[in-house]
Protein backbone atom coordinates (compact mmCIF):
# COMPACT_ATOMS: atom_id res chain seq x y z
CA UNK A 1 0.00 0.00 0.00
CA UNK A 2 2.59 2.53 1.09
CA UNK A 3 4.81 1.92 -1.89
CA UNK A 4 1.86 2.27 -4.26
CA UNK A 5 0.80 5.60 -2.85
CA UNK A 6 4.40 6.77 -2.71
CA UNK A 7 4.64 6.08 -6.40
CA UNK A 8 1.48 8.07 -7.00
CA UNK A 9 2.98 11.21 -5.57
CA UNK A 10 6.61 10.71 -6.53
CA UNK A 11 8.26 13.44 -8.59
CA UNK A 12 9.24 12.70 -12.19
CA UNK A 13 11.50 14.51 -14.63
CA UNK A 14 8.44 15.93 -16.35
CA UNK A 15 7.32 17.43 -13.09
CA UNK A 16 10.62 19.26 -12.73
CA UNK A 17 10.24 20.79 -16.17
CA UNK A 18 6.64 21.79 -15.49
CA UNK A 19 7.80 23.48 -12.33
CA UNK A 20 10.40 25.53 -14.21
CA UNK A 21 7.86 26.68 -16.80
CA UNK A 22 5.43 27.51 -14.03
CA UNK A 23 8.06 29.64 -12.29
CA UNK A 24 8.97 31.42 -15.50
CA UNK A 25 5.39 32.17 -16.51
CA UNK A 26 4.45 33.39 -13.08
CA UNK A 27 7.38 35.79 -12.90
CA UNK A 28 6.92 37.01 -16.44
CA UNK A 29 3.28 37.81 -15.84
CA UNK A 30 4.17 39.48 -12.56
CA UNK A 31 6.77 41.62 -14.33
CA UNK A 32 4.20 42.74 -16.91
CA UNK A 33 1.86 43.76 -14.13
CA UNK A 34 4.63 45.72 -12.45
CA UNK A 35 5.40 47.49 -15.74
CA UNK A 36 1.76 48.40 -15.98
CA UNK A 37 1.56 49.87 -12.53
CA UNK A 38 4.90 51.68 -12.76
CA UNK A 39 3.75 54.67 -14.88
CA UNK A 40 0.79 55.24 -12.59
CA UNK A 41 3.04 55.22 -9.54
CA UNK A 42 5.55 57.55 -11.21
CA UNK A 43 2.89 60.00 -12.31
CA UNK A 44 1.27 60.12 -8.90
CA UNK A 45 4.58 60.52 -7.12
CA UNK A 46 5.69 63.26 -9.47
CA UNK A 47 2.43 65.10 -9.10
CA UNK A 48 2.43 64.94 -5.33
CA UNK A 49 6.11 65.81 -4.94
CA UNK A 50 6.23 68.64 -7.46
CA UNK A 51 2.65 69.87 -7.35
CA UNK A 52 1.98 69.37 -3.66
CA UNK A 53 3.78 72.52 -2.45
CA UNK A 54 1.63 74.71 -4.72
CA UNK A 55 -1.62 73.53 -3.19
CA UNK A 56 -3.09 75.77 -0.56
CA UNK A 57 -6.47 77.11 0.41
CA UNK A 58 -5.61 80.28 -1.45
CA UNK A 59 -4.67 78.32 -4.56
CA UNK A 60 -8.09 76.72 -4.60
CA UNK A 61 -10.07 79.89 -3.92
CA UNK A 62 -8.48 82.69 -5.93
CA UNK A 63 -8.28 83.57 -9.61
CA UNK A 64 -5.03 83.38 -11.61
CA UNK A 65 -3.09 86.65 -11.77
CA UNK A 66 -0.04 88.05 -13.59
CA UNK A 67 -0.83 86.48 -16.94
CA UNK A 68 -1.71 83.17 -15.25
CA UNK A 69 1.78 82.81 -13.82
CA UNK A 70 0.55 83.17 -10.24
CA UNK A 71 -2.62 83.09 -8.14
CA UNK A 72 -5.06 80.22 -7.97
CA UNK A 73 -7.46 78.18 -10.04
CA UNK A 74 -10.82 79.09 -8.57
CA UNK A 75 -12.60 80.08 -11.84
CA UNK A 76 -11.40 76.88 -13.53
CA UNK A 77 -12.57 74.75 -10.64
CA UNK A 78 -16.00 76.37 -10.61
CA UNK A 79 -16.15 76.15 -14.41
CA UNK A 80 -15.50 72.42 -14.41
CA UNK A 81 -18.26 71.91 -11.85
CA UNK A 82 -20.63 73.92 -14.07
CA UNK A 83 -19.70 72.00 -17.20
CA UNK A 84 -20.05 68.60 -15.59
CA UNK A 85 -23.28 69.47 -13.81
CA UNK A 86 -25.01 70.81 -16.92
CA UNK A 87 -23.74 67.85 -18.97
CA UNK A 88 -25.20 65.46 -16.39
CA UNK A 89 -28.54 67.24 -16.31
CA UNK A 90 -28.69 66.82 -20.07
CA UNK A 91 -27.34 63.29 -20.47
CA UNK A 92 -28.61 61.32 -17.48
CA UNK A 93 -32.37 61.63 -18.02
CA UNK A 94 -32.04 60.99 -21.75
CA UNK A 95 -29.56 58.15 -21.29
CA UNK A 96 -31.49 56.39 -18.54
CA UNK A 97 -34.77 56.74 -20.43
CA UNK A 98 -33.21 55.34 -23.60
CA UNK A 99 -31.67 52.46 -21.68
CA UNK A 100 -34.98 51.62 -20.00
CA UNK A 101 -36.67 51.67 -23.37
CA UNK A 102 -34.04 49.51 -25.03
CA UNK A 103 -33.86 47.01 -22.22
CA UNK A 104 -37.49 46.82 -21.09
CA UNK A 105 -39.73 47.85 -23.96
CA UNK A 106 -38.02 47.46 -27.32
CA UNK A 107 -38.85 44.21 -29.11
CA UNK A 108 -35.92 41.97 -29.77
CA UNK A 109 -35.55 42.56 -33.51
CA UNK A 110 -32.96 43.73 -36.03
CA UNK A 111 -33.76 47.41 -35.48
CA UNK A 112 -33.09 47.18 -31.76
CA UNK A 113 -29.91 45.28 -32.42
CA UNK A 114 -28.83 47.90 -34.96
CA UNK A 115 -29.48 50.67 -32.43
CA UNK A 116 -27.47 48.85 -29.78
CA UNK A 117 -24.61 48.44 -32.20
CA UNK A 118 -24.76 52.12 -33.13
CA UNK A 119 -24.60 53.10 -29.46
CA UNK A 120 -21.53 50.97 -28.87
CA UNK A 121 -19.86 52.48 -31.93
CA UNK A 122 -20.79 55.97 -30.83
CA UNK A 123 -18.84 55.36 -27.63
CA UNK A 124 -15.76 54.84 -29.79
CA UNK A 125 -15.96 58.15 -31.65
CA UNK A 126 -12.85 60.26 -30.82
CA UNK A 127 -13.57 63.25 -28.64
CA UNK A 128 -12.16 65.72 -31.19
CA UNK A 129 -14.87 64.59 -33.60
CA UNK A 130 -17.47 65.25 -30.93
CA UNK A 131 -15.89 68.67 -30.48
CA UNK A 132 -16.35 69.53 -34.15
CA UNK A 133 -19.90 68.21 -34.03
CA UNK A 134 -20.53 70.40 -31.00
CA UNK A 135 -19.27 73.48 -32.83
CA UNK A 136 -21.48 72.74 -35.81
CA UNK A 137 -24.59 71.77 -33.90
CA UNK A 138 -24.69 73.74 -30.67
CA UNK A 139 -22.43 76.76 -31.22
CA UNK A 140 -23.50 77.56 -34.77
CA UNK A 141 -26.76 75.85 -35.69
CA UNK A 142 -28.59 76.31 -32.39
CA UNK A 143 -26.80 79.66 -31.89
CA UNK A 144 -25.79 78.95 -28.29
CA UNK A 145 -22.44 80.59 -29.13
CA UNK A 146 -19.37 79.44 -27.25
CA UNK A 147 -20.97 78.88 -23.89
CA UNK A 148 -21.31 76.46 -21.00
CA UNK A 149 -24.51 75.24 -22.62
CA UNK A 150 -22.83 74.36 -25.92
CA UNK A 151 -19.82 72.77 -24.22
CA UNK A 152 -21.93 70.76 -21.78
CA UNK A 153 -24.25 69.53 -24.49
CA UNK A 154 -21.21 68.40 -26.45
CA UNK A 155 -19.97 66.54 -23.37
CA UNK A 156 -23.45 65.11 -22.91
CA UNK A 157 -23.59 63.75 -26.44
CA UNK A 158 -20.17 62.25 -25.95
CA UNK A 159 -21.05 60.55 -22.67
CA UNK A 160 -24.56 59.47 -23.63
CA UNK A 161 -23.54 56.09 -25.07
CA UNK A 162 -21.65 55.23 -21.92
CA UNK A 163 -24.58 56.23 -19.72
CA UNK A 164 -26.89 54.10 -21.85
CA UNK A 165 -24.62 51.08 -21.83
CA UNK A 166 -23.92 51.17 -18.10
CA UNK A 167 -27.60 51.73 -17.28
CA UNK A 168 -28.63 48.89 -19.52
CA UNK A 169 -26.13 46.63 -17.82
CA UNK A 170 -27.52 47.61 -14.43
CA UNK A 171 -31.06 46.88 -15.64
CA UNK A 172 -30.12 43.56 -17.11
CA UNK A 173 -28.42 42.50 -13.90
CA UNK A 174 -31.92 42.41 -12.37
CA UNK A 175 -32.99 38.80 -12.85
CA UNK A 176 -35.62 38.14 -15.49
CA UNK A 177 -37.53 35.99 -13.02
CA UNK A 178 -38.43 39.14 -11.04
CA UNK A 179 -40.05 40.67 -14.08
CA UNK A 180 -41.93 37.50 -14.90
CA UNK A 181 -43.14 37.30 -11.32
CA UNK A 182 -44.56 40.80 -11.58
CA UNK A 183 -46.15 40.30 -14.97
CA UNK A 184 -47.83 37.20 -13.66
CA UNK A 185 -49.59 39.18 -11.01
CA UNK A 186 -50.93 41.43 -13.72
CA UNK A 187 -48.41 44.24 -13.34
CA UNK A 188 -47.97 46.48 -16.36
CA UNK A 189 -44.52 47.02 -17.82
CA UNK A 190 -44.21 50.36 -16.10
CA UNK A 191 -45.40 49.07 -12.70
CA UNK A 192 -42.81 46.34 -12.97
CA UNK A 193 -40.07 48.78 -13.86
CA UNK A 194 -40.97 51.30 -11.20
CA UNK A 195 -41.51 48.90 -8.32
CA UNK A 196 -38.97 46.18 -8.96
CA UNK A 197 -36.52 46.82 -11.78
CA UNK A 198 -35.45 50.40 -11.06
CA UNK A 199 -35.17 50.04 -7.27
CA UNK A 200 -32.88 47.08 -7.80
CA UNK A 201 -30.85 48.75 -10.54
CA UNK A 202 -30.57 52.26 -9.17
CA UNK A 203 -27.26 51.71 -7.42
CA UNK A 204 -25.73 50.25 -10.55
CA UNK A 205 -27.01 53.19 -12.56
CA UNK A 206 -25.55 55.65 -10.06
CA UNK A 207 -22.20 53.89 -10.17
CA UNK A 208 -22.14 54.34 -13.92
CA UNK A 209 -23.12 57.98 -13.65
CA UNK A 210 -20.40 58.76 -11.14
CA UNK A 211 -17.76 57.13 -13.33
CA UNK A 212 -19.15 59.26 -16.12
CA UNK A 213 -18.66 62.41 -14.10
CA UNK A 214 -15.05 61.58 -13.47
CA UNK A 215 -14.43 60.99 -17.13
CA UNK A 216 -16.23 64.13 -18.21
CA UNK A 217 -14.32 66.37 -15.83
CA UNK A 218 -11.02 65.55 -17.51
CA UNK A 219 -12.10 66.02 -21.12
CA UNK A 220 -10.43 68.86 -22.98
CA UNK A 221 -11.07 68.63 -26.72
CA UNK A 222 -14.89 68.75 -26.64
CA UNK A 223 -14.96 71.92 -24.57
CA UNK A 224 -12.09 73.94 -25.99
CA UNK A 225 -13.96 75.06 -29.13
CA UNK A 226 -17.42 75.10 -27.65
CA UNK A 227 -17.33 77.01 -24.40
CA UNK A 228 -14.13 76.87 -22.40
CA UNK A 229 -12.00 80.02 -22.36
CA UNK A 230 -8.26 80.46 -21.88
CA UNK A 231 -8.63 83.08 -19.24
CA UNK A 232 -11.62 84.71 -17.62
CA UNK A 233 -11.21 86.57 -14.35
CA UNK A 234 -14.95 86.30 -13.58
CA UNK A 235 -17.11 83.37 -12.64
CA UNK A 236 -19.82 82.41 -15.13
CA UNK A 237 -23.23 83.85 -14.26
CA UNK A 238 -25.34 81.48 -16.36
CA UNK A 239 -25.25 78.71 -18.92
CA UNK A 240 -24.79 81.12 -21.83
CA UNK A 241 -21.49 82.46 -20.45
CA UNK A 242 -18.10 81.10 -21.30
CA UNK A 243 -16.04 79.64 -18.52
CA UNK A 244 -12.58 78.45 -17.62
CA UNK A 245 -12.12 74.73 -17.00
CA UNK A 246 -9.52 72.69 -15.15
CA UNK A 247 -8.50 70.53 -18.08
CA UNK A 248 -8.08 73.38 -20.53
CA UNK A 249 -6.38 75.52 -17.91
CA UNK A 250 -3.80 72.81 -17.43
CA UNK A 251 -3.22 72.60 -21.17
CA UNK A 252 -2.85 76.39 -21.42
CA UNK A 253 -0.40 76.94 -18.61
CA UNK A 254 1.65 73.96 -19.65
CA UNK A 255 1.97 74.99 -23.30
CA UNK A 256 1.02 78.65 -23.79
CA UNK A 257 2.43 80.40 -20.73
CA UNK A 258 6.21 79.96 -20.95
CA UNK A 259 7.03 81.97 -17.84
CA UNK A 260 4.66 80.08 -15.53
CA UNK A 261 6.53 78.53 -12.59
CA UNK A 262 7.39 74.87 -13.12
CA UNK A 263 5.35 73.68 -10.19
CA UNK A 264 2.11 75.31 -11.36
CA UNK A 265 1.01 72.76 -13.98
CA UNK A 266 1.78 69.97 -11.51
CA UNK A 267 -0.43 71.62 -8.93
CA UNK A 268 -3.31 72.01 -11.38
CA UNK A 269 -2.92 68.42 -12.53
CA UNK A 270 -2.86 67.22 -8.93
CA UNK A 271 -6.15 68.96 -8.17
CA UNK A 272 -7.74 67.62 -11.35
CA UNK A 273 -6.63 64.05 -10.74
CA UNK A 274 -7.73 64.26 -7.12
CA UNK A 275 -11.21 65.25 -8.28
CA UNK A 276 -11.32 62.27 -10.62
CA UNK A 277 -9.96 59.84 -8.04
CA UNK A 278 -12.39 61.07 -5.42
CA UNK A 279 -15.25 60.40 -7.82
CA UNK A 280 -13.95 56.95 -8.65
CA UNK A 281 -13.51 56.12 -4.98
CA UNK A 282 -17.09 57.19 -4.38
CA UNK A 283 -18.23 54.95 -7.20
CA UNK A 284 -16.26 51.96 -5.95
CA UNK A 285 -17.50 52.53 -2.43
CA UNK A 286 -21.02 52.54 -3.75
CA UNK A 287 -20.51 49.28 -5.54
CA UNK A 288 -19.07 47.60 -2.47
CA UNK A 289 -21.94 48.89 -0.35
CA UNK A 290 -24.52 47.65 -2.82
CA UNK A 291 -22.93 44.26 -3.22
CA UNK A 292 -22.99 43.95 0.55
CA UNK A 293 -26.75 44.28 0.72
CA UNK A 294 -27.72 42.48 -2.44
CA UNK A 295 -31.01 40.70 -1.86
CA UNK A 296 -30.74 37.77 -4.16
CA UNK B 1 -66.16 19.93 -6.40
CA UNK B 2 -65.78 19.51 -10.12
CA UNK B 3 -69.34 18.29 -10.10
CA UNK B 4 -70.53 21.65 -8.85
CA UNK B 5 -69.42 23.28 -12.11
CA UNK B 6 -72.33 23.21 -14.52
CA UNK B 7 -71.84 20.93 -17.48
CA UNK B 8 -72.48 23.84 -19.83
CA UNK B 9 -69.72 25.98 -18.26
CA UNK B 10 -67.06 26.84 -20.80
CA UNK B 11 -63.72 25.08 -20.45
CA UNK B 12 -61.14 26.97 -18.38
CA UNK B 13 -58.72 26.78 -21.27
CA UNK B 14 -59.71 25.96 -24.84
CA UNK B 15 -57.19 26.03 -27.67
CA UNK B 16 -58.16 25.65 -31.32
CA UNK B 17 -55.64 24.94 -34.04
CA UNK B 18 -52.84 26.45 -31.97
CA UNK B 19 -49.51 26.63 -33.80
CA UNK B 20 -46.45 28.37 -32.45
CA UNK B 21 -43.11 29.12 -34.07
CA UNK B 22 -39.86 30.28 -32.49
CA UNK B 23 -38.47 31.89 -35.62
CA UNK B 24 -38.48 29.06 -38.15
CA UNK B 25 -38.79 26.35 -35.56
CA UNK B 26 -42.34 25.14 -35.00
CA UNK B 27 -42.84 24.19 -31.35
CA UNK B 28 -46.61 23.61 -31.29
CA UNK B 29 -48.68 21.88 -33.99
CA UNK B 30 -52.46 22.26 -34.23
CA UNK B 31 -53.09 21.95 -30.51
CA UNK B 32 -56.78 21.47 -29.69
CA UNK B 33 -57.26 21.18 -25.98
CA UNK B 34 -60.13 21.67 -23.54
CA UNK B 35 -59.10 21.96 -19.92
CA UNK B 36 -62.10 21.52 -17.63
CA UNK B 37 -62.85 24.07 -14.97
CA UNK B 38 -62.09 23.41 -11.34
CA UNK B 39 -59.94 20.33 -11.71
CA UNK B 40 -56.24 19.56 -11.79
CA UNK B 41 -54.86 18.55 -15.16
CA UNK B 42 -51.31 17.25 -15.62
CA UNK B 43 -49.32 17.93 -18.74
CA UNK B 44 -46.69 15.28 -19.36
CA UNK B 45 -44.28 14.49 -22.17
CA UNK B 46 -40.58 14.20 -22.90
CA UNK B 47 -38.21 17.15 -22.57
CA UNK B 48 -38.58 19.68 -25.38
CA UNK B 49 -42.02 18.54 -26.49
CA UNK B 50 -43.51 22.01 -25.93
CA UNK B 51 -45.12 21.76 -22.50
CA UNK B 52 -43.69 25.01 -21.22
CA UNK B 53 -44.40 26.66 -24.54
CA UNK B 54 -48.06 25.68 -24.33
CA UNK B 55 -48.27 26.88 -20.75
CA UNK B 56 -46.64 30.20 -21.55
CA UNK B 57 -48.98 30.77 -24.49
CA UNK B 58 -51.91 30.56 -22.09
CA UNK B 59 -50.96 33.81 -20.40
CA UNK B 60 -49.21 35.33 -23.39
CA UNK B 61 -45.76 35.13 -21.84
CA UNK B 62 -44.37 33.99 -25.17
CA UNK B 63 -45.11 37.17 -27.03
CA UNK B 64 -42.37 39.11 -25.27
CA UNK B 65 -39.94 37.37 -27.61
CA UNK B 66 -40.02 39.25 -30.89
CA UNK B 67 -39.48 36.15 -33.01
CA UNK B 68 -42.45 34.15 -31.73
CA UNK B 69 -45.44 33.76 -34.07
CA UNK B 70 -48.74 32.20 -33.02
CA UNK B 71 -51.77 31.14 -35.05
CA UNK B 72 -55.06 29.63 -33.89
CA UNK B 73 -56.89 30.68 -30.77
CA UNK B 74 -56.78 30.29 -27.01
CA UNK B 75 -59.90 30.94 -24.99
CA UNK B 76 -59.77 31.35 -21.23
CA UNK B 77 -63.23 30.92 -19.70
CA UNK B 78 -64.75 31.54 -23.10
CA UNK B 79 -62.79 34.69 -23.84
CA UNK B 80 -60.31 34.70 -26.72
CA UNK B 81 -57.16 36.08 -25.05
CA UNK B 82 -55.58 37.15 -28.32
CA UNK B 83 -58.63 39.26 -29.28
CA UNK B 84 -57.60 42.87 -29.94
CA UNK B 85 -59.82 44.33 -27.21
CA UNK B 86 -58.31 42.10 -24.53
CA UNK B 87 -55.82 43.73 -22.18
CA UNK B 88 -52.67 41.76 -21.51
CA UNK B 89 -52.87 42.74 -17.85
CA UNK B 90 -56.35 41.22 -17.55
CA UNK B 91 -55.13 37.97 -19.07
CA UNK B 92 -52.28 37.80 -16.59
CA UNK B 93 -54.63 38.53 -13.71
CA UNK B 94 -56.89 35.66 -14.71
CA UNK B 95 -54.07 33.25 -15.41
CA UNK B 96 -51.39 33.03 -12.73
CA UNK B 97 -48.16 31.15 -13.26
CA UNK B 98 -45.79 29.30 -10.94
CA UNK B 99 -42.30 28.61 -12.24
CA UNK B 100 -39.84 25.80 -11.91
CA UNK B 101 -37.43 27.90 -9.88
CA UNK B 102 -39.22 29.74 -7.10
CA UNK B 103 -38.96 33.44 -7.91
CA UNK B 104 -39.95 35.50 -4.89
CA UNK B 105 -39.45 39.23 -5.33
CA UNK B 106 -36.57 40.78 -3.36
CA UNK B 107 -39.04 42.21 -0.86
CA UNK B 108 -40.32 41.16 2.54
CA UNK B 109 -42.64 38.18 2.83
CA UNK B 110 -45.49 40.53 3.59
CA UNK B 111 -44.79 42.75 0.58
CA UNK B 112 -44.54 39.77 -1.71
CA UNK B 113 -48.04 38.74 -0.80
CA UNK B 114 -49.60 42.19 -0.92
CA UNK B 115 -47.75 43.17 -4.12
CA UNK B 116 -50.41 41.93 -6.50
CA UNK B 117 -53.18 43.40 -4.44
CA UNK B 118 -51.51 46.80 -4.32
CA UNK B 119 -51.16 46.79 -8.09
CA UNK B 120 -54.85 46.39 -8.63
CA UNK B 121 -56.26 48.30 -5.67
CA UNK B 122 -55.29 51.65 -7.07
CA UNK B 123 -57.25 54.56 -5.75
CA UNK B 124 -59.07 52.42 -3.21
CA UNK B 125 -57.87 52.93 0.32
CA UNK B 126 -57.03 49.62 1.90
CA UNK B 127 -56.70 49.73 5.63
CA UNK B 128 -53.62 48.34 7.26
CA UNK B 129 -55.62 45.69 9.01
CA UNK B 130 -57.34 44.82 5.76
CA UNK B 131 -53.99 44.21 4.18
CA UNK B 132 -52.78 42.19 7.15
CA UNK B 133 -55.85 40.02 6.86
CA UNK B 134 -55.21 39.48 3.20
CA UNK B 135 -51.63 38.44 3.87
CA UNK B 136 -52.69 36.04 6.60
CA UNK B 137 -55.43 34.52 4.49
CA UNK B 138 -53.12 33.89 1.54
CA UNK B 139 -50.38 32.43 3.74
CA UNK B 140 -52.84 30.21 5.60
CA UNK B 141 -54.15 28.89 2.34
CA UNK B 142 -50.69 27.74 1.27
CA UNK B 143 -50.01 26.23 4.72
CA UNK B 144 -47.21 28.70 5.36
CA UNK B 145 -48.73 30.96 7.99
CA UNK B 146 -47.53 29.07 11.03
CA UNK B 147 -43.91 28.95 9.87
CA UNK B 148 -43.59 32.60 8.86
CA UNK B 149 -46.08 34.51 10.96
CA UNK B 150 -43.34 35.80 13.26
CA UNK B 151 -41.08 37.05 10.50
CA UNK B 152 -43.31 38.68 7.93
CA UNK B 153 -40.76 41.45 7.48
CA UNK B 154 -37.93 39.09 6.63
CA UNK B 155 -36.73 38.93 3.05
CA UNK B 156 -38.66 36.35 1.06
CA UNK B 157 -35.47 35.35 -0.74
CA UNK B 158 -34.10 34.01 2.53
CA UNK B 159 -36.80 31.36 2.93
CA UNK B 160 -36.12 27.73 2.06
CA UNK B 161 -36.92 26.72 -1.51
CA UNK B 162 -40.04 24.88 -0.44
CA UNK B 163 -41.27 27.91 1.47
CA UNK B 164 -40.37 30.17 -1.43
CA UNK B 165 -42.42 28.08 -3.83
CA UNK B 166 -45.39 28.15 -1.48
CA UNK B 167 -44.99 31.89 -1.21
CA UNK B 168 -44.98 32.17 -5.00
CA UNK B 169 -48.31 30.37 -5.06
CA UNK B 170 -49.64 32.45 -2.17
CA UNK B 171 -48.88 35.78 -3.78
CA UNK B 172 -51.08 34.90 -6.75
CA UNK B 173 -54.12 34.37 -4.54
CA UNK B 174 -54.95 38.01 -3.71
CA UNK B 175 -55.06 38.70 -7.46
CA UNK B 176 -57.82 36.07 -7.63
CA UNK B 177 -56.85 34.23 -10.79
CA UNK B 178 -59.20 31.61 -12.24
CA UNK B 179 -56.45 29.46 -13.67
CA UNK B 180 -53.10 28.50 -12.16
CA UNK B 181 -50.37 27.31 -14.52
CA UNK B 182 -47.54 25.46 -12.83
CA UNK B 183 -44.40 24.60 -14.75
CA UNK B 184 -42.66 21.77 -12.88
CA UNK B 185 -43.32 23.49 -9.56
CA UNK B 186 -41.58 20.80 -7.52
CA UNK B 187 -38.54 20.01 -9.59
CA UNK B 188 -36.25 22.37 -7.68
CA UNK B 189 -37.34 20.92 -4.34
CA UNK B 190 -36.19 17.99 -2.23
CA UNK B 191 -38.57 15.04 -1.67
CA UNK B 192 -40.03 16.52 1.49
CA UNK B 193 -40.62 19.87 -0.20
CA UNK B 194 -42.11 18.12 -3.20
CA UNK B 195 -44.55 16.32 -0.99
CA UNK B 196 -45.52 19.49 0.84
CA UNK B 197 -46.11 21.51 -2.32
CA UNK B 198 -47.98 18.64 -3.88
CA UNK B 199 -50.25 18.47 -0.89
CA UNK B 200 -50.84 22.20 -1.21
CA UNK B 201 -51.76 21.84 -4.87
CA UNK B 202 -54.33 19.22 -3.95
CA UNK B 203 -55.71 21.62 -1.31
CA UNK B 204 -56.26 24.25 -3.96
CA UNK B 205 -58.22 21.89 -6.16
CA UNK B 206 -61.74 23.03 -6.89
CA UNK B 207 -61.05 26.65 -6.10
CA UNK B 208 -58.80 27.10 -9.11
CA UNK B 209 -58.36 25.35 -12.38
CA UNK B 210 -54.83 24.00 -12.24
CA UNK B 211 -52.70 22.93 -15.17
CA UNK B 212 -49.45 21.42 -13.97
CA UNK B 213 -46.44 20.31 -16.00
CA UNK B 214 -44.57 17.45 -14.40
CA UNK B 215 -41.91 14.87 -15.20
CA UNK B 216 -42.94 12.90 -12.17
CA UNK B 217 -45.41 10.21 -13.27
CA UNK B 218 -46.31 9.31 -9.72
CA UNK B 219 -47.08 12.93 -9.01
CA UNK B 220 -49.31 13.18 -12.07
CA UNK B 221 -51.23 10.12 -10.94
CA UNK B 222 -51.55 11.28 -7.35
CA UNK B 223 -52.64 14.85 -8.01
CA UNK B 224 -54.55 15.14 -11.24
CA UNK B 225 -57.99 14.15 -12.54
CA UNK B 226 -57.02 14.45 -16.16
CA UNK B 227 -53.75 14.03 -17.99
CA UNK B 228 -52.53 15.41 -21.29
CA UNK B 229 -49.66 13.70 -23.06
CA UNK B 230 -47.64 15.69 -25.59
CA UNK B 231 -44.97 14.65 -28.05
CA UNK B 232 -42.95 16.93 -30.34
CA UNK B 233 -45.40 19.79 -30.20
CA UNK B 234 -48.57 17.75 -30.59
CA UNK B 235 -51.18 16.61 -28.11
CA UNK B 236 -51.27 12.83 -28.42
CA UNK B 237 -53.69 11.91 -25.71
CA UNK B 238 -55.98 13.63 -23.24
CA UNK B 239 -58.29 11.87 -20.81
CA UNK B 240 -58.95 10.95 -17.21
CA UNK B 241 -55.63 10.28 -15.50
CA UNK B 242 -56.43 6.66 -14.69
CA UNK B 243 -57.36 5.94 -18.30
CA UNK B 244 -54.21 7.56 -19.66
CA UNK B 245 -52.00 5.64 -17.26
CA UNK B 246 -53.76 2.30 -17.12
CA UNK B 247 -55.29 2.09 -20.54
CA UNK B 248 -53.54 4.45 -22.95
CA UNK B 249 -55.06 4.69 -26.41
CA UNK B 250 -51.80 5.39 -28.19
CA UNK B 251 -48.59 3.48 -28.55
CA UNK B 252 -46.45 6.56 -27.82
CA UNK B 253 -48.29 7.29 -24.58
CA UNK B 254 -47.70 3.78 -23.35
CA UNK B 255 -44.05 3.94 -24.34
CA UNK B 256 -43.54 7.21 -22.53
CA UNK B 257 -45.31 6.16 -19.36
CA UNK B 258 -43.32 2.98 -19.23
CA UNK B 259 -40.17 5.03 -19.48
CA UNK B 260 -39.11 4.16 -22.98
CA UNK B 261 -38.55 7.83 -23.94
CA UNK B 262 -36.57 8.78 -20.84
N1 LIG C 1 -37.17 30.92 -26.33
C2 LIG C 1 -37.02 29.94 -27.23
N3 LIG C 1 -36.45 30.18 -28.42
C4 LIG C 1 -36.30 29.19 -29.33
N5 LIG C 1 -36.68 27.94 -29.16
C6 LIG C 1 -37.27 27.62 -27.99
C7 LIG C 1 -37.46 28.61 -26.96
N8 LIG C 1 -38.06 28.02 -25.91
C9 LIG C 1 -38.22 26.73 -26.26
N10 LIG C 1 -37.76 26.49 -27.50
C11 LIG C 1 -37.80 25.21 -28.21
O12 LIG C 1 -39.14 24.80 -28.29
C13 LIG C 1 -39.26 23.42 -27.97
C14 LIG C 1 -40.21 23.22 -26.85
O15 LIG C 1 -39.66 23.80 -25.69
P16 LIG C 1 -40.37 23.78 -24.29
O17 LIG C 1 -39.56 24.57 -23.34
O18 LIG C 1 -41.78 24.18 -24.45
O19 LIG C 1 -40.30 22.22 -23.94
P20 LIG C 1 -40.72 21.50 -22.59
O21 LIG C 1 -41.68 20.44 -23.00
O22 LIG C 1 -41.18 22.45 -21.58
O23 LIG C 1 -39.37 20.81 -22.15
P24 LIG C 1 -38.82 20.57 -20.67
O25 LIG C 1 -39.54 19.36 -20.18
O26 LIG C 1 -37.37 20.31 -20.87
O27 LIG C 1 -39.10 21.77 -19.87
C28 LIG C 1 -37.87 22.91 -27.66
O29 LIG C 1 -37.37 22.22 -28.79
C30 LIG C 1 -37.06 24.16 -27.41
O31 LIG C 1 -35.75 23.99 -27.90
MG1 LIG D 1 -40.36 23.17 -19.70
From ligand 1's centre to the CA of A240, what distance in Å? 58
User: In chain B, where are the structural domains located?
Assistant: 2-257
Atom of ligand 1 nearest to the CA of B230: 21
| A243 beta partners | A228
Instruction: Check A181 against B101: CB less than 8 A apart.
Output: no
Q: Calculate how close chain B gets to A47, using CA atoms only, in Å.
A: 46
Say what the pLDDT of residue A260 is.
Answer: 83
Superfamily of domain A58-292: MetI-like (1.10.3720.10)
**pLDDT tens by residue, B152-181:** 888 888 899 989 999 999 999 888 899 999
Q: What is the DSSP string of B137-181?
A: HHHHHTT-HHHHTT-TTSBGGGS-HHHHHHHHHHTTGGG--SEEE
* Residue B51 CB less than 6 A away from ligand 1: yes
From ligand 2's centre to the CA of B22, what distance in Å? 15
| B155 beta partners | B108
Question: A99: which residues sit within 8 A by CB, 6+ positions away?
Answer: A163, A164, A165, A167, A168, A171
**pLDDT tens by residue, A59-102:** 888 888 887 788 888 999 999 999 999 999 999 999 999 999 99
* Residue B50 CB less than 6 A away from ligand 1: yes
Nearest by Cα to A51 from A262, A288, A259: A262
Residue A117: CA count within 13 A, CB half-sphere? 6
Average pLDDT over residues B185-202: 89
- Strand B209-213 versus strand B226-231 pairing type: unpaired
What ipTM was reported for this prediction? 0.84
The H or E element that residue B228 is part of is: strand B226-231
Q: Select from 3.40.47.10, 3.40.50.720, 2.40.30.10, 3.40.50.300 the CATH code of B2-257.
A: 3.40.50.300
Instruction: Check B103 against A187: CB less than 8 A apart.
Output: no
Say what the pLDDT of residue B1 is.
Answer: 41
Beta-carbon count within 10 A of B261 CB: 13
Q: Measured between alpha carbons, how far is A7 from A9 in angstroms, rounded to an integer?
A: 5
**pLDDT tens by residue, A135-192:** 999 999 999 988 999 999 999 999 999 999 999 999 999 999 999 999 988 898 999 9
Amino acid sequence: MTSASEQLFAGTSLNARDRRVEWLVRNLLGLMTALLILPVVIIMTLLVVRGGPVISWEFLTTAPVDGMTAGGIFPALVGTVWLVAVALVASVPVGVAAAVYLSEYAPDNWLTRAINLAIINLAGVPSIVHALFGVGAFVLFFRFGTSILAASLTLAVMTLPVVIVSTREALQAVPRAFREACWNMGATRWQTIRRIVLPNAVSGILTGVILEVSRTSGETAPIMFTGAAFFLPFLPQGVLDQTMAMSLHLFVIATQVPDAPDALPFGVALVLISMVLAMNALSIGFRVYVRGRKKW
Amino acid sequence: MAESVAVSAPPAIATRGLNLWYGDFQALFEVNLDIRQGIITSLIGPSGCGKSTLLRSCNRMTERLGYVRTTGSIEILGQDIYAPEVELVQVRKQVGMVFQRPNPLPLSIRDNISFGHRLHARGQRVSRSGREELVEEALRKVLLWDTVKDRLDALATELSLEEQQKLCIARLLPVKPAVLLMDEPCSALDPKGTEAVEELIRELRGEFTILIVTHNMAQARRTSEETVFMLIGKVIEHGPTDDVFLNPQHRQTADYIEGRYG
